[in-house]
Amino acid sequence: MFLYPFKTIWLKTHTERSVIADKIIQQTYLSDVGYKKIDRFTKYFYGLANENEFVLENIGNKRIPAFYEGDILGVGEETYVKIRIGALKHIRIYVLFWLLLSMGLFFWIRGLLGLDTVDSGIMYVFTGILMALLGYGCFFTWQFQRKLTSGIDFFRGLLSADRVNGNDVPAIFKR
């Protein structure tokens, strides 16, 4: 979908799972160590990471999207990383935002067509609120689309991986 600020990508690397997890952990304030910085590396994320999966929130890099969830799949030196990149932590927040906006537009159009009797002052305020919501949603989505490429490149460089099509991934790793 054009205005959908979530994207799933697949990366293929020739690195073992433990090394991939270590690279991600070096970039992350781990939530299970009490927000402590345990080494000298710059931290870009906050979240959870292990050899099987990671859930990260961007806190330090302004050029990449906000949320990442990933699964590290594979054996030996043929490893696939499935990354779900998102502008919001959960898709339901995005759906609720657009549902609220569409219901507001429905009632605005009914008032504009004269199907409901609405005071003109209230209509001006309601119009302003709807336009602000629409502008915020479009700006938020545009900003995600602008940052998406640099977010993908960040993880490709971090994991020394190549981006692959979902059809090239063995069926055993797809869920």
Distances (CA, A) of 139 to 132, 133, 144, 146, 153: 10, 10, 9, 10, 22
Query: DSSP string spanning 108-155?
Result: HHHHHTTSS---HHHHHHHHHHHHHHHHHHHHHHHHHHHHHHHHHHHH
Looking at residue 68, its pLDDT comes to 94
The three-point CA angle 12-162-62 to 5° equals 110
The CB density around residue 135, as the number of other CB atoms within 10 Å, is: 10
Report how far residue 32's alpha carbon sits from residue 68's, in angstroms, rounded to the nearest whole number: 18
Q: How confident is the model at residue 38 (pLDDT cuts 50, 70, 90)?
A: low
Looking at residue 65, its pLDDT comes to 92
Report how far residue 46's alpha carbon sits from residue 146's, in angstroms, rounded to the nearest whole number: 22
Looking at residue 61, its pLDDT comes to 82
Cross-strand partners of 76: none
Mean pLDDT of 98-108: 82
Report how far residue 4's alpha carbon sits from residue 95's, in angstroms, rounded to the nearest whole number: 10
Tokens, residue 172: 């055993």
Report how far residue 133's alpha carbon sits from residue 13's, in angstroms, rounded to the nearest whole number: 41
Task: Record the pTM.
Answer: 0.79
Mean pLDDT of 155-161: 93
The CB density around residue 72, as the number of other CB atoms within 10 Å, is: 25
CATH fold, domain 6-90+148-173, is TATA-Binding Protein (3.30.310)
- The answer, yes or no, to whether residue 154 has pLDDT greater than 90, is yes
Looking at residue 100, its pLDDT comes to 83
